[in-house]
Amino acid sequence: MNISQTPPLHLTYCLNVHPGQTWADNFAAVRNEALRVRDIVCDINTPFGLGMRLGKIAADELSDADKLTEFREFLDANNLYVFTINGFPYGEFHDPGVKENVYAPDWRTDERRDYTILLADILADLLPEGVSGSISTVPGSYKPWIKTPADVEAMVDNLADVAAHLYQLRRARGVSICVALEPEPDCFIETSEEVVRFFTGPLREYGKARVREKLNISGHKAAKLLRRHIGVCLDTAHAAVEFEDPAQAAQTIRNENIRIAKVQMSSALNVTIPTAADQDLRRKIEEFCDPVYLHQTRIRRRDLVNHHDDLPDALSGGELRPGDQWRVHFHVPLFFGEFEGLEGTNDLLTGRFAELLIGGLTEHLEIETYTFGVLPDNLRPDDLPPAIAKEYRWVMDNCLGME
């Protein structure tokens, strides 16, 4: 949905909530699920934006000219448009055992580079005239995998190659696409400070040289090209897990003239342990453990924050300590309020953060609650499209002033 022309702001939800690896699966999700969401959220005459999720298998299939033509015709016939792609998961996403494999292949590899270039070429064929595009992606790598400066340089080299390709796409076809690194707990880039450190350090130093060499252009032009085509996807649940205020994180990034190409509106699980913590609360938290996704957990005790790779690791630490505050990388619905001692972090998305959104923080706003299928049974909706539509309404009412 085009929320605003000046400044431009488009709203969608991420189709990664719908399982499927093939293009047939992805197309079915658009036909059977996204259209139902659209029919609840807005009038059929209102152009409805799609946040596509294309893994490598689906992207390879959709790159076929006939399939692309068929999809464009479907979009036109149903008043739909595509402006962003989630290019984070390369392969399986909803099956057991994904965990840290979701970060592979990482940006050290040609596979990640070539896959992202493929997504850019697809998006260039789908973008409406005058609308910019974004592709959210892995924030470099999973942090434990990065051992040496050579690892960092390899990531920068591949990002610079993609930036050069996007520059050539813009010159040849007039389309503007930005690859957006998505900071995430326990990844190579996980906080706004690490965003700044990477963009003003390795990316500026090594990336500029790589682009200059590849395109035979000046250093000034290479730096400008990188700022245009490599940016950030700010996921608000990820920031909250790190105990960062999303508004402050956004400001830290913008102060360095780093582009926020997309904001993913998401809410993390938040638990403040009461004075009389009991086993019942532990059982409620345990229900958010699942075998599919990593649920990185941070526990704040006074001024100290303890890091845990996954929620079961945090729970294995013993008794719940009164006064501790738990933030868990589990995307709960944006409309999730207080529930028997459990909360979301959606309160961080109103006030100053909402002002930034309306004021032009980003052009692309994407609701991203991909975890409906692994919510505890008593919180899981029977029918997904009405629940997604409820998230749209929450964003429009609480963040965009569209009551």
For residue range 91-143, list pLDDT tens digits in order: 988 888 889 999 999 999 999 999 999 999 999 999 999 999 999 999 999 99
Nearest Cα to Cα of residue 3 among 274, 397, 312:
397
User: For the residues 243-252, what does the mean pLDDT come to?
Assistant: 98
Which helix (H) or strand (E) segment holds residue 267: the answer is strand 267-272
Query: d(Cα 1, Cα 281) in Å, to the nearest integer?
Result: 40
| pLDDT for 276 beyond 80 | no
Predicted structure pTM score = 0.96
Tokens of 311: 């929620």
143-168 pLDDT, tens per residue? 999 999 999 999 999 999 999 999 99
| pLDDT for 277 beyond 70 | no
Beta bridge partners of 271: 326
DSSP 371: -
Query: d(Cα 312, Cα 302) in Å, to the nearest integer?
Result: 22
Tokens of 38: 């659209």
Strand ranges inside 276-316, DSSP E: 297-301, 304-308
Which helix (H) or strand (E) segment holds residue 56: the answer is helix 56-62
Which helix (H) or strand (E) segment holds residue 57: the answer is helix 56-62
Q: What share of the chain is helix, strand, coil (3-state, %, to 5)?
A: 45, 20, 35
CATH 3.10.20.740 assigned to domain 2-268+330-398? The reply is no
Which helix (H) or strand (E) segment holds residue 353: the answer is helix 352-358
What amino acid is encoded at 147 in this protein?
K
Nearest Cα to Cα of residue 50 among 136, 141, 156, 127:
127
Query: d(Cα 167, Cα 223) in Å, to the nearest integer?
Result: 12
Tokens of 317: 């630490």
Q: 77 φ, ψ to 5°?
A: -70, -25
Output the average pLDDT for the chain: 95
